[in-house]
């Protein structure tokens, strides 16, 4: 008989903790970061996981937003590269893969660090 009472108390405590957890989760949700941490760039050659935080933060490479988001006006929110750069070249705007390869590879070559070969960026 004593084991049943202990089990009921344990279930009751577990239920209370469950509801406290749900209430805390709903009351204090995790805030979305202002800047993306990582970005998955999709490609037919294999997706590329780009560490945006490392490239943009002062503790990382400290690359200014306008280095990549070259059409951004001061005070604007940067647009994703795919907003302008399509899968194929259109109206003189580089296609997305050429824009990325040009920007990324040139910077990696100039800085003497970072991946340069296909398989070093693209997950095959």
| pLDDT for 1 | 55
**Per-residue confidence band for 67, with pLDDT thresholds at 50, 70 and 90:** confident
Q: pLDDT tens digit string along 36-59?
A: 899 998 888 899 999 999 999 999
The residue among 78 and 19 whose pLDDT is bigger is: 19
Q: Domain coordinates of the chain in residue numbers?
A: 1-30, 39-121
Give the chain as a DSSP string: -HHHHHHHHHHHHHHHHHHHHHHHHHHSPPPPPSS-S-EEE--TT--EEE-HHHHHSTTTT---HHHH-TTPPTTPPPPPGGGT--SS-BTTBPPHHHHHIIIIIHHHHHHT-S--SHHHHB--
Mean pLDDT value across residues 83-90:
85
| pLDDT for 30 | 84
Mean pLDDT value across residues 4-14:
93
Mean pLDDT, the chain, as a whole number?
88
Per CATH, the number for 39-121 is 3.90.10.10
Supply the pTM of this predicted model. 0.67
């Amino acid at each position: 008989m004593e084991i049943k009472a202990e089990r009921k108390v344990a279930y009751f405590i577990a239920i209370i903790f469950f509801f406290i957890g749900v209430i805390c989760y709903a009351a204090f949700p995790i805030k979305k970061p202002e800047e993306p941490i990582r970005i998955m760039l999709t490609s037919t050659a294999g997706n590329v996981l780009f560490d945006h935080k490392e490239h943009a933060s002062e503790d990382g490479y400290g690359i200014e937003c306008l280095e990549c988001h070259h059409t951004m006006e001061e005070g604007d929110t940067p647009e994703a590269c795919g907003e302008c750069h399509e899968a194929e070249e259109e109206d003189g705007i580089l296609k997305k893969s050429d824009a990325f390869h040009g920007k990324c590879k040139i910077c990696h070559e100039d800085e003497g660090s970072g991946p340069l070969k296909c398989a070093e960026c693209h997950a095959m």
